[in-house]
């Protein structure tokens, strides 16, 4: 499974991850951009709290 550009769409990202889990993929690759600003810890905290 390959996906990306989740950026600041946290709720949409959560929904997408839940659907990916249901598919039971052998491998998942997020090609980025994972967060809007990688230098700001707040974005990573939101991303990692999925
Ligand atoms: Fe992008």
Q: Which residues are near ligand 1, the ion (C-beta closer than 5 Å)?
A: 5, 33
Helix axes 10-23, 41-48, angle to 10 degrees: 40
pLDDT score, position 8: 81
Closest C-alpha among 1, 7, 5, 49 to residue 21: 1
Query: How many domains does the structure of the chain reveal?
Result: 1
Range of the domain at 17: 2-48
Distance 3 CA to ligand 1 centre (A): 11
Between the CA of 5 and the centroid of ligand 1 the distance, in Å, is 5
Cα 16 to averaged position of ligand 1 atoms, centre (Å):
17
31 C-alpha to center of ligand 1: Å? Answer: 8
pLDDT one-digit tens code per residue, 8-44: 888 888 999 999 999 999 999 999 999 999 999 999 9
10 Å Cβ neighbour count for 47? 18
0.85 exceeded by pTM: no
């Amino acid at each position: 499974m390959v996906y990306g550009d989740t950026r600041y769409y946290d709720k949409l990202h959560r929904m997408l991850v839940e659907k990916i889990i249901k598919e039971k993929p052998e491998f998942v690759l997020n090609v980025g951009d994972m967060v809007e600003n990688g230098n700001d810890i707040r974005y990573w905290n939101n991303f990692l709290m999925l």
